[in-house]
Amino acid sequence: MVNFSFNDEQQELRANLQAFISEHVTDTVRNELADAHAGNGKGPHLRALHEDIFRRGWMAVSWPKEYGGQSGETITQFIVEEEFLRGCDMRMGAGGTGGPAILASGTEEQKKKYVPGAARLDITFCQGYSEPHCGTDLAGIRCRATRDDDKYVINGQKIYTTNAQNATHIFLLARTDPESTRQAGLSVLLVPMNTAGITVRPLWTIQHEPQAPSNTTYGETRTNEVFFDNVEVPVSCLLGKEGDGWNVTKRGLNLDRVGAWRYLMSVRRTEDIVNLLKSDNEAVVGLRDDPAVRDTIADLWIEAQMCRLMTMRSLSIAGRRGEFVHEGSGEKVVGPEHGVRATEAISQILGPYGALLSSSLEAIESGVYAHNLLGAFQSTVNHGSVQVMRDQIARKGLGMPKPAGSPKARSSTLTTS
């Protein structure tokens, strides 16, 4: 018999985290956190909170101690991440920080330089992958990084670069071999965002006006274009080997898919509607006793538990330092598609009032369900489209061949946020 529940020690940790968040994450901290997300930097209360969390050993729990972590279990890190995400939408040093990819592919010097700062949330990375002409087909990248003695000179453009306005660095996938085609000749550079020649220009999203509530899935009010005009960086910024950027990127994306952040994106809406139906909110009076509503919610809850078990499997593989073959791709298909189904079903359950955005005085829960609907399908494209992930499952996991007559280039498609 397999036991998928948390043990007593893990439950105690969860209770301690909840008590800490309730006491220390004040309205002032929440306001400073919102300002930080908007690109206005960390306020003094938020900085003090981060230092307190770091001292308690709750940042980057599973990362090696020599690089600022605790050398703890991945499941412990998951619990910490989950509670801070639920309690105040704060991400705690795992997926998206840059740390896992650098630990996997970086030199010893790079690990010592970047990972401790990422663990303390002083160094943050955005992903410089997608470009205007190739979208999610990263094998078509044109951004150039030309080697000039002990430096690279970068020219090109990236698009849909989430968090570029806040990040200290960018994971830049660029073409270092001008004669190469498709995935060959690509390299990853760790580029400081304050380097001369980098320009960040906002792309305002559908969630911008009216502004989405803070707990909206994919509720970012902006993404960005990033331009590189003769940007010079030292060769020491190269992550992995020159020309091996495709493999470095794949490893980084697989590691970035594991953890509480991606999991909660998919299942949080299901949990929210269950809690709403249990409440005394006048907008849902009578709905919880409707047999059709109860059946729909039961189906969604079962799906959400399946997503949880797939995440636990991925955490187990990561904890054993195992090799991801198709497991991350499977999680990336099931989770986002559940999120879309849940969001659509919730909209039907709540009816017209559930479609009111945050600007309406009669919106349910500040309009979060309507804003979720606006961003739901983004999750099936960001960080690996579900169509490409299915192809990865078929070929890598099941050993199936490519369809007869399919273009060779299709096998090199890699997608990201």
Q: How far is CA 259 from CA 14, 205, 318, 338, 392, in A?
A: 16, 26, 10, 17, 20
Q: What percentage of the chain carries pLDDT values higher than 90?
A: 45
Any residues with CB less than 8 A from the CB of 6 and at least 6 apart, and which?
Answer: 14, 75, 79
Is the predicted pLDDT of residue 256 greater than 80, yes or no? no
Q: Fill in the amino acid letter for 34.
A: A
Q: Select the highest-mean-pLDDT range: 87-96, 181-190, 234-243.
A: 234-243
Q: Which residues pair with 38 in a beta bridge?
A: none
Q: How far is CA 391 from CA 8, 77, 406, in A?
A: 40, 30, 12
Q: How confident is the model at residue 411 (pLDDT cuts 50, 70, 90)?
A: very low
Task: Give the phi and the psi of residue 126 in degrees, each rounded to 5.
Answer: -110, 165
Q: Evaluate if residue 271 carries a pLDDT over 80.
A: yes
pLDDT in tens, 27-68: 999 999 888 877 677 889 999 999 999 889 898 888 899 988
Buried b / exposed e over 356-369, threshold 16 CB at 10 Å, is bbbeeeebbbbbbb
pLDDT recorded at residue 161: 92
DSSP 20-56: HHHHH--HHHHHHHHHHHTTS---HHHHHHHHHHHHT
Predicted pLDDT of residue 52: 93
Tokens of 250: 């794949």
Q: Which CATH class, in words, describes the domain spanning 257-412?
A: mainly alpha
- Chain mean pLDDT for the chain: 86
Task: Indicate if the pLDDT at residue 353 is higher than 50.
Answer: yes
Residue 265's H or E segment, with its range, is helix 260-278
Handedness of CA 373, 379, 385, 390 (dihedral sign): negative
Nearest to 99 by CA among 262, 322, 256, 242: 256
Comparison of pLDDT for 336 and 15, the residue scoring more:
15
The type of residue at 31 is N
377 or 193: which leads in pLDDT: 193
The CATH topology of domain 8-94 is: Butyryl-Coa Dehydrogenase, subunit A; domain 1 (1.10.540)
CB neighbour burial string for 222-257, b if at least 16 within 10 angstroms, e if fewer = bbbbbbbeebebeeebbbbebbbbbebbebbbbbbb
Q: Where are the domains of the chain?
A: 8-94, 125-244, 257-412
CA distance 96 to 326: 20
Segment (H or E) for 74: helix 74-88
Q: Class of the 125-244 domain?
A: mainly beta
Q: What is the pTM of this model?
A: 0.84
β-bridge mates for residue 147, sequence order? 152
